[in-house]
Amino acid sequence: MRVIGTVAELQALADRERAAGAKIALVPTMGALHAGHRSLIDEARKRADRVWVSIFVNPDQFEDAADLERYPRTRDEDLQCCRDAGVDVVFAPECDEMQRPASPCWIEPGESAQPLCGRSRPGHFRAVATIVAKLLLAAKPHVAVFGEKDYQQLAVIRSMVRDLGFDVEIVGVPIVREADGLALSSRNVQLHPEARRQAVALVRALDAAEGAVASGDLDSARLLQRARAEIDKAPLARIDYVELCDAGSLGPIAETLDGSALLALAVYFDSPESDSPDGGARRAVRLIDNRVLDPRRAASAR
């Protein structure tokens, strides 16, 4: 496995691989790799001759400097994970290789970046779109693979690739979950043990809404109420948003579901008060999850 740190070296390798007729798949990550990332690598292997993984913690995606500082960085473990998975190249640049602070250039994403995380984290998807564009230009892949846990991110990237004419196929891979249903995330390790226990409220919320749709309840307000009620059972949970939107456009939906809808959740899980006995700030970890609710599929199953 080859580890590369500069854009120029990666681009030169991409040119050689393409000239030799090899198909390249890129898996962009921020490191702290887990089984969810492994599923992306496995999907990439099915679709290409060469599998490349990028590891770059993008500072511009973080609103809070403390959150950036806490984000897990496990380079040695990540490289071993890539070796075990048969990755051909790891692109692991330093910040100054990917950022040019003297003359910043940004990609402003379209409408799909406005709701959900775009509303609660202004500028987040501008940072995501810009760094993904740089990674695509550096690696020149035929295929790029992303996880569907970051549903809105996937939608933003697909829109950017389509609108700007990138010659790359964007592939989404279903969410990988832990045994109790919690979606795998690099942030899960940051949870206080009690917060980790309560975090399954997210999947309970998704299950409750999906179960209601399966039983014929298509009222959007009631579905949201059911989801919120499950999260409210977790004392350490603080809701950022619980929303339903069109699964394709991420735009508003009708009062009664008449097509596929995305139920999207973003919830902060605090550490217990006892974790800050001096009255200092309690550490919070923000988790996201989602599920597509399809009334037509539910009706055919009844």
Residue 131 contacts by C-beta under 8 Å, 6 or more apart in sequence?
56, 58, 60, 61, 98
Q: What is the C-alpha separation between 51 and 76, in angstroms, rounded? A: 19
- Annotated catalytic residue 37: yes
Contact of 160 with 133, CB cutoff 8 Å: yes
Contact of 276 with 259, CB cutoff 8 Å: no
Q: Which of 34, 37, 124, 192 is catalytic?
A: 37
Q: What would the two tokens of residue 290 be?
A: 């989602």
Q: What is the C-alpha separation between 25 and 48, in angstroms, rounded? A: 6
Backbone dihedral region for residue 267 (phi beyond 0: left; psi -120 to 50: alpha; all else: beta): beta
Contact of 48 with 23, CB cutoff 8 Å: yes
Beta strand 169-173 pairing with 284-293: unpaired
Q: What is the C-alpha separation between 284 and 268, in angstroms, rounded? A: 6
Q: What would the two tokens of residue 82 be?
A: 């890539």
Contact of 52 with 87, CB cutoff 8 Å: yes
Catalytic residues: 37
